[in-house]
């Protein structure tokens, strides 16, 4: 299963970007789809998740109220709408998915079987 992440770029602080994660297969039907990010010199961290096809959404405290994760099942695409961006949001953003993930592993990147290639988001001050 291949995931394709896109939508990254350079934006000024306070701006917005929308990331997309698409697949040619029906991966997201009942899977948990999650965005992680990794800044230079830091570990990969959880950003937002769509639990089992959209039953619930989860966010890191650092992005709550600014980022929104959503899914378009018809397009097999998961989105991450990022508003009010800050320089601290600068990172490579990765999408991941897993059909059998348990809730306690939601924020653990090692628990996911499928990954996209990453897309760079740079927020200038």
Average pLDDT, consecutive stretches of 10 residues, N- to C-terminus, the chain (125 residues):
92 98 78 95 97 92 98 89 98 95 96 95 97
* Cα–Cα distance list, 95 to 12, 14, 61 (Å): 23, 23, 18
> Which candidate, 115, 57, 117, 67, places its Cα nearest to that of 88?
67
Beta-carbon contacts of 75 under 8 Å, excluding residues fewer than 6 positions away, are 22
Whole-number Å distance between alpha carbons of 45 and 14: 22
Tokens of 17: 């970007």
Looking at residue 89, what is its pLDDT? 98
Looking at residue 74, what is its pLDDT? 82
Looking at residue 17, what is its pLDDT? 98
> What are the phi and psi torsion angles at 86 (to 5°)?
-120, 155
Looking at residue 6, what is its pLDDT? 97
């Amino acid at each position: 299963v291949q995931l394709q992440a896109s939508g990254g770029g350079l934006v000024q602080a306070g701006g917005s970007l929308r990331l997309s994660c698409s697949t040619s297969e029906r991966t997201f039907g009942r899977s948990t789809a999650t965005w992680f990010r990794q800044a230079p010199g830091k570990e990969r961290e959880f950003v937002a998740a769509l639990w089992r096809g959209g039953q619930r959404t989860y966010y890191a405290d650092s992005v709550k109220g600014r980022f929104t994760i959503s899914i378009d099942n018809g397009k097999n695409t998961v989105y991450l709408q990022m508003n009010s961006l800050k320089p601290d949001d600068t990172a490579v953003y990765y999408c991941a998915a897993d059909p059998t993930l348990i809730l306690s592993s939601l924020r653990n990147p090692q628990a996911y079987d499928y990954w996209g290639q990453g897309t760079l988001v740079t927020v200038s001050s």
